[in-house]
Structure 1
Amino acid sequence: MPIYMRKLLFVILLICFHTSLYAQTNNVLLSRVLRQVQLYPQEKTYVFTDAESYQAGQRIHLRVFLVNAVVHQADSISRYVYVELLNPERLVVKRVRLLRSDQGFVGHIDIPEGVVKGRYVLRSYTKNMLNLSRYESMKSIFIGGHGRLTPSKYSNSLNREEANNSINLLINVLKKGIKVSIDNLSDSSEDDYRLFVHCRSIPLYFGKISKEKDVILSYDSLSQGGIYSFQLLDTKLNKVAERLKFVYPEKELCPISVRWTDGEKLNNNQIPCIIKADSLREGETMDVSVRVEYAGVDNTVGQSDIISHLLFDMDKADCPEEPSSVCLESEPDSLLDNCNWSRYRMSDVIKGECKKGLIGVEKSAVIRGRVETLIGHKPIKDGVVNLISPDKSFYVVTKTDAQGRFSFEGIDFPEGTQYVLNAFTKAGKSWVKLLLDEDEYPSYKGQLPPFVWTSNDTTRVDATLELPKGGIQMEEVNVFSHQPTYSSRSDAYSRTADFSFGLRDIESIGATCLHELLRRVPSVTVEFGKCYVRGGFTVGGRRPAAIAIDGIFVNEDYDLDNIQMADVERVDVFKGGSTVIWGAIGGMGVISVTTKKGDFKAASVPLTNTKTFTTLGYQIPQGYTPNARTPMWLPSLRGASFRLLFPAEYRSTYRLIIEGVTSEGRIVHYTGEIGR
């Protein structure tokens, strides 16, 4: 049994001794909750970066904390984490794939040169997390200046259950507990209700409640901290009303102390600093990331942190990110009004309706596809498929099944690894069509958290400038494009396109194939090698977008993988009214590909049984180069205490940031100027 399952079982059993759960109902609830957690294990991610503000062309160093969503322990199940850099238009600028290592999930993202000033977002997820929509893992960063987030009450209208307006649940926090009462606004005589309380799917109370009988939950019986769900149920366990309340976050925290030992000042002018958590339990250890940052660059006010992220952001639907202040003040109550909590499906689970996630846990990299005949597109059974990696001297072979499908599992190689895939019939004939399954990545359709600029200072604190004799240092000049970076419109066709990717954009994005590039465009989907704009539905059925290469339309079965990205100069996407320049054939949208030679002939690129491609391999962590902005970045420290050495000059102008989790799932967060 995984560690987090053992802890969940222990917590639930402990709660049973402190609450008035009915014995029979308690056993049923316990069994259903544990079954749901086993069938549908959920995860949360949090990105810790080496800074909050950057400049174009700089590198973002990051560490992703992956924890179980219920108990916040790092003993999670996925082997890979994906991190994307989204621009202000919510388009993916960069995407990396991180493999779990001894340091955790550590990597970096290089910001392309020339990107526009704005608030960008780091979105992190695992394939398992894609089973759940509306619960995003977002981390804001600022490029070209400094900013701060502002609290916002997000609309929670998508699939929101309509509450029974005739009955209200009233939640009042007392000195030693919480009082729950019913405000029945109607004259209904029904008074047989049950109150069900849970925090992150852990049941904390189940019992009768009425208008005349309130329920008071003692502080000791509420072992969790964060968002609590108070559900009013009828006799058939149907939800009548629900209220969310953010309470007792301190129960989830592990406070730490930072102590300077000035008396031990070393000969190299360094001062030891002791980082310790006095409240650690027996056998409990910390897993944290540490950075020392220039205190004059960013103000921590208006930033989100690991506390607000794990306890609030990722447990509230349609709330991608809030500043850390929401957990310290009374703001959570107003932000949680009229919201319900569908993440853990507890309304279904208490009635025994447990289900499994549709997307399996990613435990290894997989390359999949199918082989079919050139005429009739019939699947080829027992076909031979070879996978070769010249870079890694790797070779493996497999056969297709009755549907012509094949798969290679355990393909764990770094990013940039090139593969060659070829297929043959059982008799060794090469006249087959080889189709490669494209990796699916979710598009972001949610709201971005509001923010305000606090400073337009774009001075690069990590840059040095040596003036020649007699030279004069001028004020820094910043030039920002007013067009999104994907716009490279040099002719009449591209100027009318809805989205364009120029050569510089294609190179900076680093897409390995045209399908991966097109998935970054809103309303464009790729399914089985075909591209659809806005769904592609017509009266006659679903139709893909038309493909034009150097102005020549190709047939519907043409595989864009036949075009190597090294040969592409520009890609233009036309949808809606912009397709009129292409005539009737462009009714369902047009994807125009311009090659560098510009002399494409459809007959010159026949369908083949061979494909050369690269996948989104895992990223190899790179060493960190200290700079004036962040002179120290330690992505992974594990233990009960740490002893770090800091130069004495850090104590006047630098700030210490520590974040992470303990082995028991408690959250570690510390922010303080080093000199204090």
Structure 2
Amino acid sequence: MEGGGILSAAALFLLGTLQALHAQKNPFLEQIRNFPQEKIHVTTDRDAYIAGDTVWLRAHCVDAATLEPLTASRYVYVELRTTDNLLVRRIKILQRGGVYAGYLPLPATLAQDEYVLCAYTLYMRNLGGDYLFSKPLSVNPYRQPEKRRRRTAAGPFDVAFFPEGGYLIDGQPCRVGFKALGKDGLSRQVTGTVRDDRGRTVARFASRHAGMGSFEFTPRPGRRYTAECVQTSGGKARRFDLPEANDLTFVLRVEPNDTSFVVSVRSAKKWRPQGLKLLVHRCGTQCYYKEWNPQHASLTFLRDELPGGLYQILLLSPTGEAYSERLVFNRRDEEAEVTMRQEGTLQQRSKVTLHFEVRDTKRRPAQGDFTVAVTDRKAAAPVATAGIYSTLMLSSELRGVIEDPDWYFAPDNAQGDEGLDELLLTQGWRRYDVPKLLRNEYKEPYYPLEAGQEIAGRIERTAMFSKKKKLDRYTMRLLVPRSGYATSAPIAEDGAFALNGFDFPDSTTFVLRPTVRGRTITDARILITPDSFPEYRTLPRLRQPDPTYVAQARRYIEQRGTADMRNIVIDTVVVTAKPWDDDIDENAPEHRLAARSWNAEQIKEVSAGTILDFIEKMPGMQVMGRRVLYRGHKPAFMVDGRLEETVSMLNKTEDVVGESTNWGSGRMDKNDKRTIHYQPIPTV
């Protein structure tokens, strides 16, 4: 827009349909089509736990551009990590009815420390560790005395400086953001003074929140500048060099206020802008993209005519290269209003009904996906981690860790807007490589959308394996003894296989057997493709854990007696008797999962006439005609590694050691070498 003025919503924000965007050949639309992106927020019932407790959680997965709920990814991975990025435990949550909900049991042996809960989908790993969800959790032992490591605010620290738009310009007023961090990764509150190389003071500053702040000064040609910083809690002062000026570029200047933000350009006087373009987008939605001569006028964007969220403003060269960038957050009253009404009195073992009412910003009943966690205040510290609004609107769009992101959106915080703008001066946003988009160079995802479970790997020949036989004549069979499920997949010439098309809960045991014409191959080695884990570049830490929580939680457990958080360890029991079935391979999966296993010698000792007579003598078995039950449940039988789901499958004649044996009604041969395993299958 030439000649100044205020841009209207129609001229600024393109909220049309996808067809309208496509008609304009919007590169962001093409990128989203090639690589749609996800965000996740995880709600837990608490932020602090006792070792052996259970973390109950609910994950909300949304589209990164529209914040609409997504269920395209079948699973959400949730990990417990140390602050040093070591994996402690991992679970895989299956999406059921559009909901990702589950729990993560904490090992009772966890040492007192701070941990991090991380969550992502396989598809989100395409963006790297900076854009995966993470939140800090505090875990304390149940009986050990509390010995929390003390953190001292004083000590070594670093301060980084970030000129607005990327560079300082000589002779132009320049705003500089800064961020102070200690060696432990937590912020430090600092004050400082900026001096030139002649010792003249040009600016003073103090951090506002989480070690961040800003100041303004006008650099002079040929001068060098140094900042002397000291922590407000005391300690030695440290000096840091400010970035040098760059007079061969253009720099964006953004002046935000309550109703708008004004965009202008700073440059050296000898530079004359020609063919510059200004691009504004929000989470991949193009808002404004036109040629602009900043010498004629600045641009004003009205907040009321823009949706809330994080905006990236880019000043581009005629060839599409980025000269300068700036991030701006448009705050809108978009949060729903939630009210709760209690029905009943809070007394022990008494029924209490809670009624919730959710209304949107126009006071209309809201529709959406909601999570409610109810905990006992005596056993739960106040929530200190980020809420869903700050996660989806802010944290998920910025690199690095944001300390206390809810601080910026607190309704009673008069410094929230200034602090938020200083945060955006110091932490970058790179979800999209805009110059490449403008050249139609689109990023493609490496990890696919995970629509179902898959077990992949390959088989290798061993010394006993026939070298003459091709591997693609074999089939990989998969068994789930717990449910009686069986499937198979072909094996390729190089020994690779992939089994999919099934969904089972986390911690399900699968049995793999390579077979040929129904016969299990025992002289082959199966190599499963191992799971991979994302690398998190930085992980958040708790600022000030509640010092009274541990004592309150322990008293709560003592008052309640046995509780989920309490673990009772019995003395070690040593079994010295020789097992009667010691000739069965204890490492075989079917033996470990079976309720009971019988080998050929034990079958012979029973003196059963038929296989049904033998089954009837098994402990817990009931045989009624051809119907067999084990303690009221339908059992599954595994004979020499082959799953026999019903007795009727055993009712057949097979060759065993060269002789005929009728499993249904005939006599069992004395030379039968079969091993039978059985286990119950729960009724669904």
Question: Within the alignment, does 1:441 sit opposite 2:434 as a pair?
Answer: no
Contact persistence 1:380–1:403 (CA under 8 A)? yes
Question: Within the alignment, does 1:17 sit opposite 2:10 as a pair?
Answer: yes
298 and 430 in structure 1: CA distance in 2 versus 1, 3 angstrom threshold: closer
Contact persistence 1:164–1:241 (CA under 8 A)? no
Contact persistence 1:20–1:207 (CA under 8 A)? no
Contact persistence 2:46–2:383 (CA under 8 A)? no
- Amino acid across the alignment from 1:465: Q
Contact persistence 2:277–2:318 (CA under 8 A)? yes
Contact persistence 1:43–1:76 (CA under 8 A)? no
Contact persistence 2:471–2:495 (CA under 8 A)? yes
- Which structure is larger by alpha-carbon Rg, 1 or 2? 2
Give runs of aligned pairs for residues 69-218 of structure 1, distance below 5 A.
69-102=64-97, 104-133=99-128, 134-144=130-140, 152=210, 166-185=249-268, 187-209=270-292, 210-218=294-302
State which of 21, 29, 32 in structure 2 corresponds to 1:34: 29
Separation (CA, whole Å) in 1 of partners of 2:533 and 2:444 = 21
Separation (CA, whole Å) in 1 of partners of 2:458 and 2:310 = 46
Question: Within the alignment, does 1:392 sit opposite 2:483 as a pair?
Answer: yes
SS of the residue 1:291 aligns to: coil
1:333-383 Cα shifts (integer Å, max 9, x gaps): 222225432113333223322232111000100011113433799982342
- Amino acid across the alignment from 2:44: T
1:164-209 Cα shifts (integer Å, max 9, x gaps): 9832211112343221110113622233211111111111112233
Separation (CA, whole Å) in 2 of partners of 1:293 and 1:120 = 21
SS of the residue 2:111 aligns to: coil
Contact persistence 2:28–2:285 (CA under 8 A)? yes
Relative to the length of structure 1, the TM-score reads 0.59
1:222-241 Cα shifts (integer Å, max 9, x gaps): 12x22211111111122111
Contact persistence 1:58–1:110 (CA under 8 A)? yes
Separation (CA, whole Å) in 2 of partners of 1:362 and 1:343 = 21
Question: Within the alignment, does 1:222 sit opposite 2:306 as a pair?
Answer: yes
351 and 417 in structure 1: CA distance in 2 versus 1, 3 angstrom threshold: same
407 and 195 in structure 1: CA distance in 2 versus 1, 3 angstrom threshold: same
Contact persistence 1:20–1:206 (CA under 8 A)? no
CA shift for structure 1 position 105: 1.0
The corresponding residue for 2:160 is: none
1:612-655 Cα shifts (integer Å, max 9, x gaps): 9xxxxxxxxxxxxxxxxxxxxxxxxxxxxxxxxxxxxxxxxxxx
1:275-315 Cα shifts (integer Å, max 9, x gaps): 23154698951211113445577675853111111111110
406 and 282 in structure 1: CA distance in 2 versus 1, 3 angstrom threshold: farther
The corresponding residue for 1:316 is: 398
282 and 383 in structure 1: CA distance in 2 versus 1, 3 angstrom threshold: farther
Structure 2 regions of 5+ residues with no counterpart? 1-7, 141-145, 152-185, 188-208, 213-244, 411-415, 567-571, 573-586, 593-640, 644-684
417 and 172 in structure 1: CA distance in 2 versus 1, 3 angstrom threshold: same
321 and 350 in structure 1: CA distance in 2 versus 1, 3 angstrom threshold: farther
1:28-72 Cα shifts (integer Å, max 9, x gaps): 765432222122121111111111211111111111111111111
CA shift for structure 1 position 118: 2.2
**Higher RCO (CA < 8 A, seq sep 6+):** 1
CA shift for structure 1 position 78: 0.4
299 and 335 in structure 1: CA distance in 2 versus 1, 3 angstrom threshold: farther
- Amino acid across the alignment from 1:56: A
The corresponding residue for 1:544 is: none
Identity %: 23
Separation (CA, whole Å) in 2 of partners of 1:109 and 1:95 = 8
The corresponding residue for 1:7 is: none
Separation (CA, whole Å) in 2 of partners of 1:92 and 1:237 = 42
Separation (CA, whole Å) in 1 of partners of 2:368 and 2:65 = 18
320 and 339 in structure 1: CA distance in 2 versus 1, 3 angstrom threshold: closer
CA shift for structure 1 position 152: 4.7
The corresponding residue for 1:368 is: 456
Separation (CA, whole Å) in 2 of partners of 1:142 and 1:400 = 47
342 and 611 in structure 1: CA distance in 2 versus 1, 3 angstrom threshold: farther
State which of 364, 388, 407 in structure 1 corresponds to 2:498: 407
State which of 236, 254, 260 in structure 1 corresponds to 2:336: 254
Give runs of aligned pairs for residues 341-360 of structure 1, distance below 5 A.
341-360=429-448
Relative to the length of structure 2, the TM-score reads 0.58
The corresponding residue for 1:285 is: 367
Contact persistence 1:385–1:397 (CA under 8 A)? yes
163 and 59 in structure 1: CA distance in 2 versus 1, 3 angstrom threshold: farther
Contact persistence 1:424–1:431 (CA under 8 A)? no
CA shift for structure 1 position 611: 13
State which of 547, 559, 564 in structure 2 corresponds to 1:465: 559
Contact persistence 1:163–1:240 (CA under 8 A)? no
Give runs of aligned pairs for residues 489-528 of structure 1, distance below 5 A.
none
1:112-142 Cα shifts (integer Å, max 9, x gaps): 1232222211100100011111212101121
Contact persistence 1:18–1:221 (CA under 8 A)? no
Separation (CA, whole Å) in 1 of partners of 2:86 and 2:279 = 41
Contact persistence 1:371–1:435 (CA under 8 A)? yes
1:458-480 Cα shifts (integer Å, max 9, x gaps): 1216414389xxxxxxxxxx9xx
SS of the residue 1:250 aligns to: coil
SS of the residue 2:540 aligns to: coil
SS of the residue 1:131 aligns to: helix
Q: Over aligned residues, Cα RMSD in angstroms?
A: 4.2
SS of the residue 2:559 aligns to: coil
CA shift for structure 1 position 323: 3.4
SS of the residue 1:17 aligns to: helix
Aligned residues: 451
28 and 447 in structure 1: CA distance in 2 versus 1, 3 angstrom threshold: farther
